[in-house]
Structure formats: C-alpha cells, structure tokens
A and B are shown apart, each in its own frame.
Chain A
Amino acid sequence: MKEEYALTTKNLHKIYGQGTDMAVHALKGIDIKIRKGEMVAIMGPSGCGKTTLLNLIGGIDLQTKGDIFVAGKDISTLTDEEMTKFRLFNIGYIFQLFNLFEFLSALENTVLPLFLTKATRFEAEEEAKMMLRQMGLGDKLHQLPGELSGGEQQRVAVSRALLMNPAIILGDEPTGDLDNSTATDIMNLFVSINENYKQTFIIVTHSEHIAQFCHRIIRIVDGEIVEQGF
C-alpha cells in the first residue's frame, strides 16, 4: 500500500565521514510516512539532522543505510542519472538563501525545469508565465532577483518548484530569511496550494509559528524522531 504515501522512509541512517575519527551519525534510523496531500513540518534544534533528512528525501544526498520511497518509488536503487530525472519530475525544492540564480530573470528562473524537458521554448515560457501570474508576479516577469523583495523572490522559487507538478515540495527554512508578515504570506500561499491542488509539502523549520501552518509536526532531536505528530 506504499502508493498511498507520498513519502516513506525505513530505518534511515546517515553517517558523515564514516570510517574516520570524525564520523558524525546525523540520522539514526528515521521512519516516516507522509500521505499524499499532507503538509508536514520537520522541526528540531540546529544540527539535529533536519536538512540532512530533507536532502536524502530529495535525492541530493545518499543515505548510509535504510530505504526511501517517494511516490511509491524506491529512490535508493536509482543511479545518479535516474535520480536526476526523478528529481526533475517529482521533487520541487525551495531553499532559504540564494534560492534563485541572480543572473536570471524571474521568468528564466521559473522556466528552467521545463527547459530540461522536451517542451518547446514557447510552451515552457507560457506555462512559467501562467505560474508567475498566479503567484501575483505577472508584472515582474523580467526582473532580476536583486530587483525583487524577499517575499517576491520566494514566490519565484515556489513557482519554479510547482512548475513540474511534483510529488513533493521540499522547503528548507523557506521563510527563514523573511520578516514575519512576509513569512506568514508565504505560508498562506503554501496552504492554499496544498488545499487547492493537494500538493504534498515537507517543510524544515525551527519556527513554531511556521510549523503551525502544517497538518502535523515531526520533531527530531540528535538524529532521532521524538514525535511523529499524528
């Protein structure tokens, strides 16, 4: 019944510098199940392994042990090439800092994932423009990130993450660099997308205020889950 879940991890371990004196056991047997359309926050103190978990789920880092199923697919068996393709079509990323390419306009930043597919330039750009308009950035298509406010920049990042209609959107402190009011706006945007499109969100945050927007909160301390939030 794996397909009911957008994400499942089983006994997930991550050890940095394994086999050396400096080895750090960042994740210690993480088991998580997140349903499709669920909006989950992962919380914990600095260095607890939140970002590491997110990177493993997103397939941009390799686990030391354990299994990860995303949209029913065991991503631990994928080659680098297969993983890259899987990431393109199934994972949307939103980071905290330097989220956009500073030398690309809002439209160009958004359209990038579609440019990696067989879509024509026209199709890709039209879709990206539509997405940006939905985000309220219709008049800022050709602005560079440096010319946008922090909130607008994150909206561009959200547009890019949503463009491929991914199975999961991963947010690593997506509002960490924003003031409270803007952060609330962004989270309201996430909630509305989640509600309207049943889009699964996994958001790493250390802010209780942000976490409250999610359906449940998974808490991690020292690489172990201390609360699943059910």
Chain B
Amino acid sequence: MSYINYLVRKTFKRRMGKNIGTIVAITLGVSLMMGVQITITSFGSTATDFFLEALGENDIIITKIPLALNNYTDLFYEIENSGINVSAMNARVRQFTTVYNEEEGQIEQRVPLVGFDFNEDEVFGDLYDENGTIYTQGLLNLLLQDNSSVLISNRIINDIFSEETTQVVGKELLVVLPVINLSAISFEDLFYYKDYNLTIKGIVKNEGKGREGGNRNLWTNIDHLREITGLSELQCTEINIALSADHIENPISSEEAYAAEDILNELLAPIEPGVIIIAIRATALDASEDILNDVLVAFNLFGALIIFSGVLLIVNIQLIQVEDRLQQLGILRAIGSKRREIIKLFLMESTIAGVVGSIAGIGGGYGMSMFLVWQIGKTFFDVSIQLRPIVTIASVTYSLVVGLILSLTSGLLPALRASRVDVIEVIRGIKKVPTKRAGTFSLPLGLTLVVGGITTFVTQSIVQDSYFTSAGWDSSVEQWIFLGAAGAFLIGLSILLGYLFSKKILGNFLGLSLIGLTIVMLMATLPLLNDLAESSKILITLVVLLALSTILFVGVNLRAVTNFIRTIFYRTRLKKAVSLVASKYMTARTMRSTLTFGIFTLVLTMNIFASVYQQTFKVNTLDSVEFYSGGGAIYAQLDIPVSNISGIDVESELLQVNDSITQVQGIKSAIAFTSDLNPVGNESALMIPSGFDLVENDTFKDGDDYVFDFIFSNSIKQFNAEYKPDGSQEYQREYSHKIWDIFYSRDRVNREGYIDNDDGLLTIISTLPFITPGETIFISTLLGWQEFIVLALMLQYPFSLTSMLPKYIATPDVYNILPFSLIVPAPNQYLIKTSEDFREGQNHKIAQDIEYFFNANTSIIRQSGQRVAATAHSVWDVMLETVEFQVKTFDFMQYFVGFGLVVGAMGMIIIAVRNVSERRREIGMMRAIGYKKRQIIESIMLELFILAGLGLFMGLVNGIVLGWAFARLYDWSVVIPLTRILIYTGIMIGVALVASIIPGIRASRITPAEALRYVG
C-alpha cells in the first residue's frame, strides 16, 4: 500500500492551497474549543482564588454580632480541649468606622478597623508594604507603638487623599467608632459613638493570603483597639480557627469543617449566648461553587454553542474536500484501489490536517482567551486585578483530541461514501438519483426512538413528579428529561414518516415539530420554573434547539426559499441571469449552503437574543423605576443613626435643604444572620448575613393615605390566586395597600400559605425574587434562632435590586429582637420625595445637597459637634448604574459568542474561495455565453449575500422570539434593539462582501479559454 503513502505526499503538496483551507477551518474550530476551555477554567479558578485569597487557611469564624466575646483565653482553652484538631487560632477586634480626612473634607464609609495580635500564627497571613516587604513583628511593634497608630490599605488611599500613595504616611485621620459603655445601666446605653484621631504609620499594599484578601482595611494593635473601643484586655469581636496550616497539602473537607462547627456550637452556646459560629471556608467555597456552577452552566452552554459553530465549519470543509475529489477517487477505484485504501488515503490526509490545525488552534484559542479573560477582569472583577488565561494540560489535551476526532470523523463519513461510489458514474460525472424514502434500517430505529421517548415520559411521570401536575415541571432537570423524551419521540416519528413517505417529509416534520416543541415550552413550561437560574438553563437550551430546528427546516426547504428569492429578482427585472445561477448553485450544494448559513443562524440567534434580552431588561427595569420607587426619588444612607444627635429634628431640617423636597421619612436598619433551615444541630444549614429594614406603619401611612406607595408582587397562597401580575398600575397599588395592611395587622400565616393565628408564624417581607412568599426563614435573634414566614415579595427601589444580600422588611416586633438593632436605635436611612421630574429633574443635585447637609463642616449637624457620614443618591442614578452592570455582563456574553461570528466569517471566506476554484469550468462557460466579469462577481456575491441574509434573518426571528419569551416571564414588553440589529446587519454585509470580493475578483479574472480546458 506504499502508493497510498506516495499519493498522500503528492496530493497533499499539490492541493496545498485547498488543504490550507481545511487546516484553517480546523484551526478555527479548535481555537474556539481551546478558547472556551481556557476562559471557563480561568473564570472558575479566578473566582475561587478570589474567595481563597481572602480566607487563607481560616476555617471557622466565631463572632457574636455586634457584641464582644468575653475572655478569649478561656474560649481558646475550651476549643483546644473540644476534640477538634486545631492547627492555629487567633483573636481579633474589628470595628466598621467612617474615616474622615478633615484637611481635605473627604469621607469614606464602612472602613474596617482591625486590631490584631502581632504574635498571631503565620497561617493567618502577612501584611506587605508598597515595596512588597513583609511587616515583621518587630517592625509592627515599632510602627504601631501607641493607640493612634494605624497602617492603611492602599485601596482606600485614593478615596480619602489627593496625594500620592507614599505621601500619606504621617497624615492624620479621624474615625467615628462605636464604643462599648461598660458602666451602662441599660441595654440601650451600652453603645455610643466617639471621634478618634489616628496617624498613618505605613501603607499596606498587599494584605496577603488570609489577611482579608484585598479589603480596604485600617490595621492596628489589638490591645490599642480594645482600649479605644472600651473592651477589656480579654475581650475580642472574633476568633478565627485554622483546622489545617496548609489546605493544599492537608485539605479539610467541608464535612470535617461542618462537624467542627457543630462541636463548637454545642460547646460555646451555653457559655457565650448568641454566639455565631460559621465554618466560613467551607460555607464560602460551597456558596461560590453554587454561584460558579450557575455561571458556568451559562458559559458552558454558550461555549458549546460557539464550539458547535466550529464543528459545522469543519464538517463543511471536509465535505467540500471529498466532493471535489470524486473524479480522482473514481480513477483510483478504476485502476484497482481497494475501498479501504481510499478510506486510508482520506484518513491520513485528515490526520495531517487535524494535527496541524489542532496545534495551530491551541495558539488561536490562547489568543481568544486572552481577550475574553481580560474582559472577565473588566466586567466581573476589579480592573486592577491582573488576570491571565490559565492553560491546563487537560484543556490542551481535550482540544487536541477533540480537534483530531472531529477532523477524522467529519472526513470519515464522506470518505466512506466516496469509497462506495459507482466507478463509472464517478468518472462520467453522472450523479445517482438519491432514493426518495429513508432506508430499511430507519424502521427499527424510528420505532425504538418513539418507544424510548414514550417510556422516558411515562417513567419520569411515575418515578418522579407527574408531568400532569405543575410539580412535574418545576425543575430544569424535569424539563430537560421531558425535552429528551419529546425529542426522541419526534425524531423517531420523523424517521418513520421518512420510511413511509419521503426524506423530505422526514426533514420537514422534524424541523417543524422541534420548532413547535420549542415554542410550546417557551410559552407553557418555562414560566412554571420559579427559579431564575433554572429558567436560564432551560432558556439557553431552547435557544440552541430553536436555532438548530430552524436551520434544519430552512435547509430542507432551501430550494423553495431560493426560488422565492429568485422570483423577487425576476419580478423586479433585476439580475435575472445572475440570480438564476447564484440560487441554483446554492441548492445544488444544499448541505454546504445549509452548514454555511447554519453557522450564522446559530451565532446570530445567540447574539441577537442576548441583545434583545439586554435591551428588554434595561428598558423595562428603567421604565419601572419610578413606579417601583413609590415616589421616593432620593435615598440617603448614614453611617450612624442621627437620633443620637440631640436637639436636631433631622426630618424637618432635611425638608429645608431644598425647596423641591416634599417629604422625608426615616428608616432603621440592621443586619442579622438567616438560614433557610434551622441551624441548631443541623450541619447542612447555610447561614448568611441578611439586611432588615424597619418600616413603621405610620411612617408610610398618614391616616388612610399612603405617603409612599410600596409595590408588592407575589404573596402567600391565600392572596396569590387573585393577584394579577399584568394589572394596571392603579390595581397594583390597591393590591399592595391591602398586603401592607395585612402585614401590619400582624396576623400569623401557616406553612400552607393561609392566615392562621393559632398555628401560624410571624411574617416578614422579602425584597429579593429568590426568596418567595410562603418560604420560611430562620433568623438569629436575641432570643435564639426563630422561624418566620415570608408574606410577600416587595419590588420597592431602593429596597430591592440594590443589594446583593437578601433583604427583608420587618415590623417593630421582629426588628427589635435583632441583636444589631441595638446599636441602630434610630433611622440610618431616609426616603425623600421631591417635586422634580424623576429622570430629568434636579434630584442628582438635591442628593448632593443632602450629603452636604450631613457632611459639610458648616452643616448644622457638624456644628452640633457630631459627625454623620451620609451618602445620598437619586434612585434613578443608582438604578442606572445597576442596570449598566447587567448590560456589561450581557456585553461580555456577546464578546464570547462573537468569536463564533469570526469563525463563521472565516469559514465563509474559505468556502467562497473553494467554490470558485471548483467552478472554473462553469465560470468559463458563463463567460463564453456572454456573462460580463461584473456579473460573475455579482453571482458569487449574491450567493454569499443570500446565505448571510438567511443566517441574519433566522437569527433575528429566533432572537426576537426568544426575547419575547424571556420578556413574558417578567410580564415585560419586549424591546427590539434596532441599533444592535443594524450593527449585526452591517457586520453580515461586511462579512459577505469580504468573503465574496476576493474570490469574485479571482473568478472574473479567469479567462474563458483557460477555464474551458479545466475539467476539475
């Protein structure tokens, strides 16, 4: 068989131009795989590192928010003798303060002032100066000798100082600290706020692993901070425990960490009432894994989609590679080559192209991921974090292997077909008329799939939740299983129709039924998913299914589509001869044409859907801001409650700040830990900090009138049945007033969702769509963990959507038993109503005036000798910023998918060049008949424009249908992003122009005499 090797050498060299096209296609396909792999790995790894960097080796944190722990040495003793294998422990004092640079009038809120023991075990990390040198124990002792000395993180310097970083050493800072009054006679007097002057002794550039990981901290000696804040020398606010000194060498499993947490809870709860013990590392990693998994599902699905576009390109090129060599294959068969030798010839060529393309693709993929990872840094993390693509051996191997398998399999099937052709027919150029109906094998295959689909459907309905109840549709897994069962059934049925009637009916039925299935699921089953993450998974799956089924349907009917387009040209008497040839070329190579427009359909469906999604979200969210603000155009937040300032009626004073202010209402707020399971004795209970706002009934109600209009959406089962989500704004207000009155009646609600004052639970209100009415929540109170039930979901800006943490609205009976409420006994937030236009008015300026009212040296509050650091925002501005972040996230997804567009464009160029080279003789005939050079170029351009146009049109229709389905989930009106669509239209025109112009010019330069001698 040595002549096959000889042939491979010769033909590979001679067909170098064409082989380069194949190699480029494989390179592009593998680049996508590699790029997606590296990007996903880098994102996952960066996000995990982000958490681990902050946590260091810290496994467990013990705290008693907001109170201090007593006698840490006793606690250390108890912990060490508890049976837990402790590697290291520390005690720290942490206070959140507002920092003032009085010299320049700059304020920074919520800066942690951390007091630590310089003898802390080294597993809790080190601090580094601006030169990267560690602050040794000796140096820390020297620098932080007295109570007023601190080190400052370089991350807050720019917020407070105008000077260069290094020039702030020696500067003064003023902080406002909550201080414990040990001589207090009542609980309310336990805390007061005091000013304190600090001197900066050094800069912390890198807080290192375990030292909060990039936080904006002030660092000082623990004993000094105890003195400042009134704690005794054995008190601290937190204890950190490392169960392993090196989690890489000696990892601690989540189970071990949670077991230790349980032991500590049992041990310390009796001696430190209200203590909170969290296996912080395990909890954070589990939570990050959950979040990451959701993000990675989206990434992987988007990634799979663009990889699939690369696969389509490779298959397309391999198909051309075989098609234009049928003549050569026929001759080889005629001179005695065996079928397996022809297959071997092709496989050897495919292997060479696959290896070269895959290796080049690794480079391409790295380049792609460099851009994407840079975008990740910009979009999801701080820009100052230098992210680099992380290349793993696994991703390289995966890309190489998959690239090779793809090039081989996509070459093998056509090669098998070629090896089976009738020699005479191939040599004479006669094409076999394909059989109309599907082969005999299709009967058992079709039946198996139909039975398999029905069996899966029935089994799922019996084993799990029935599909005939709404419970059968409330998870993505159930809907995926249904999709698989319905898909198998429809494919099987289509194959049977193909066997009984024709392959065309097979294609049409399959395409249409899958389109129907997608639309039915979009309309009927998608809204049954309560969870946004679950909905996203199904939505993205349906995006892919819709794109593929429309490609199939249009591909099967390509002849009718091109006939229609040609008729338009005929009707307008335009380019009759050009359109006839262009459209017929397309249908003569249906598979090739379908794969070409298919790539664009797939990518543009994704891109246009992302654009529609983005715009629909943006416009609808912003449109609803005013309604959901309930009239509170400005929102002010203070670092300490102003009621501590005696003699000033802040609400009245604020009304004087600007003539446009018409109403001011104060709100108290606190933080407490919550869990969806009872954490007592339950290791799987996840405790998370949550915000609680106390909204007094008469704060918002003046008699029977509502000063601010809170808007509620869903509520408990008893009221939800009558709730109309698409009701008018007037209806929404009336419904919301009713919910508000029930909330303040303090009726109890049972677990079934009905008012039940005998067996019910006390209610709270959720502001986060993830926490739905009827759910029960355990809250850490002064009385221990207590269970409450969510009465309703409130959609009130700024209470909802502006917080990453779960946030609840509480009545006084609940709020007053939250531990942190003790240090916030008065309003620290204000809702302000103005007479200005919500969007275009002066609210931004009024917000600045309010900040000035609280913060300026000349303000009435400052003159009273008190300091309150306030931030005031126009709700419109805040929402604009929130929405912009979401928009940036969608933009990233579009960059991600955009690489598929690049691949599609490159693929189109390769295919156009190949088309021209294999049509030389036809081009010669056209020239001989009387086609002008311009008309030759036009025919090539028209073909590509139709293909690009089909991709664009189908992408548009699919994208808009999906966008509409998405908008329907939220009762939003779909917004068509005309500018983006124009941009994509421009891109597609550009792609078609670029792809056609060079081959078109080449074709027009072919002399007819030369072309007519060409026989392929």
| Contacts from A to B (Cβ < 8 Å) | 55, 58, 60-61, 80-81, 84-85, 87-89, 93, 95, 97-99, 101-104, 108, 112-113, 115-116, 120-121, 124, 146-147, 160
Q: List 10 A-B contacts (CB under 8 A).
A: A58-B928, A60-B1008, A81-B932, A93-B928, A98-B925, A98-B1015, A101-B581, A108-B580, A112-B580, A112-B581
Binds A, one of B583-591, B684-692, B823-831, B842-850: B583-591
Inter-chain contact A115/B1012, CB cutoff 8 Å: no
**Known contacts A58-B928, A88-B929, A93-B928; A115/B1009 CB under 8 A:** no
CA distance A75 to B925 in the complex (A): 19
Contact of A112 with B577 in the complex, beta carbons under 8 Å: yes
Residues of B close to A103: CB separation below 8 A = 584-585, 587-588
* Complex Cα–Cα for A88 and B929 (A): 6
A93 B929 Cβ-Cβ under 8 A: yes
When each residue 567-590 of chain B gets 1 if its CB lies under 8 Å from chain A and 0 otherwise, what string results? 000100100110011001101100
Given the interface pairs A60-B1008, A102-B588, A103-B584, the reply to whether A87 lies near B928 with Cβ below 8 Å is yes
A56 nearest in chain B by CB position: B1009
Question: What residues on B are CB-neighbors of A60 within 8 Å?
Answer: 924, 927-928, 1007-1009, 1012
Q: Contacts A60-B1008, A61-B1009 known; A104 to B929 CB distance under 8 Å?
A: no
Q: Which residue in chain A gives the minimum CB-CB distance to B431?
A: A146
Chain A residues within an 8 Å CB radius of B1007: 60-61
Chain B residues near A104: list those with CB within 8 A: 580-581, 584
**Residue pair A98, B928 in contact (C-beta under 8 Å):** no
The answer for the CA separation of A9 and B782 in the assembled complex, in Å, is 113
Contact yes or no, A80 B930, CB < 8 A: no
Residue of B430, B924, B930, B1007 with most partner-chain A CB within 10 A: B930
B217 to chain A, nearest CB (A): 73
- A87/B922 in contact, CB under 8 A: no
Residues of B within 8 A of A (CB): 429-431, 433, 570, 573, 576-577, 580-581, 584-585, 587-588, 921-922, 924-925, 927-933, 935, 1007-1009, 1012, 1015
Beyond the given pairs A80-B933, A104-B584, A115-B577, 9 more chain A to chain B contacts, judged by CB atoms under 8 angstroms and listed by A's residue number, are A55-B1009, A60-B927, A61-B1009, A84-B932, A85-B930, A88-B929, A97-B1015, A116-B931, A146-B431
Chain A: CB-nearest residue to B587: A103
With a CB–CB cut-off of 8 A, which chain A residues contact B925? 93, 95, 98-99, 101
Tell which of A84, A97, A101 touches B930, judged by Cβ atoms closer than 8 Å: A84
Most chain A CB inside 10 Å of its own CB: which residue of B431, B576, B587, B588: B576
CA distance A108 to B585 in the complex (A): 13
Residue in A116, A120, A124, A147 whose beta carbon sits within 8 Å of that of B929 in the complex: A116
Count CB-based A-B contacts (< 8 Å).
Answer: 82
Q: Which residues of B contact A93 (CB under 8 A)?
A: 925, 928-929
Report Cα–Cα, A146/B588, bound state, in Å. Answer: 13
Q: Evaluate contact between A84 and B429: CB separation under 8 angstroms.
A: no
CB neighbours of B576 from chain A (8 A)? 115-116, 121, 124
Of the listed residues A87, A124, A160, the one surrounded by the most CB atoms of chain B closer than 10 A to its CB is A87
Rounded to whole Å, the gap between the CB of B1001 and the closest CB of chain A is: 14
List the B side residues contacting A146 at CB < 8 Å. Answer: 430-431, 433
In the assembly, what is the distance between CA of A102 and CA of B584, in Å? Answer: 10
Which residue in B570, B921, B928, B1015 is a CB contact (below 8 Å) of A121?
A: B570
On chain A, the residues within 8 Å of B430 by CB distance are 146
Contact A84 B921 (CB under 8 A): no
In the complex the two chains form, is B577's CB within 8 Å of A116's CB?
yes
Residue in A80, A85, A120 whose beta carbon sits within 8 Å of that of B573 in the complex: A120
Q: Is the CB of B930 within 8 A of A88?
A: yes
Shortest C-beta distance, B413 to chain A (Å), equals: 23
Q: State in angstroms the CA–CA spacing of A147 and B931 once bound together.
A: 26
Within 8 Å by CB of B1008, from A61, A85, A120, lies A61
Residue of A whose beta carbon sits closest to that of B932? A84
Closest to A105 in B: B584
- Nearest B residue to A55 via CB reads B1009
Chain A neighbourhood of B924, CB < 8 A: 60
Contacts A80-B933, A112-B580 given; does A101 touch B928 at CB 8 Å: no
Interface contact A84-B931, CB-CB below 8 Å = yes
Nearest CB in chain A to that of B584: its residue: A103
- Tell me the bound Cα distance from A103 to B431 in angstroms: 11
B residues near A85, Cβ cutoff 8 Å: 930, 932
CB <8 Å contact, A101 and B584:
yes
Q: Who on chain A is nearest to B1007 by CB? A: A61
Contact A98-B577, Cβ < 8 Å, known A60-B1007, A60-B1012, A108-B584? no
Instruction: Report how far A91 CA is from B931 CA in the complex, Å.
Output: 13
Chain B residues with CB under 8 Å of A108's CB are 580, 584
Cβ contacts under 8 Å, B933 to chain A: 80-81, 84
A81 and B931 CA atoms in complex are apart in Å by 9
Q: Flag if A101 contacts B1008 (CB, 8 Å).
A: no
Nearest chain B residue, comparing its CB with the CB of A81: B932
Q: In angstroms, how far is the closest chain A Cβ from the Cβ of B368?
A: 38
What B residues does A113 contact at CB under 8 A? Answer: 929-930
Known contacts A101-B584, A103-B585, A104-B584; is A87 also within 8 Å of B429 by CB?
no
Check A116 against B570 for contact (C-beta < 8 Å). no
Q: In the complex the two chains form, what is the Cα distance from A198 to B364 in whole Å?
A: 66
Residues on B with C-beta less than 8 A from A112 are: 577, 580-581, 929
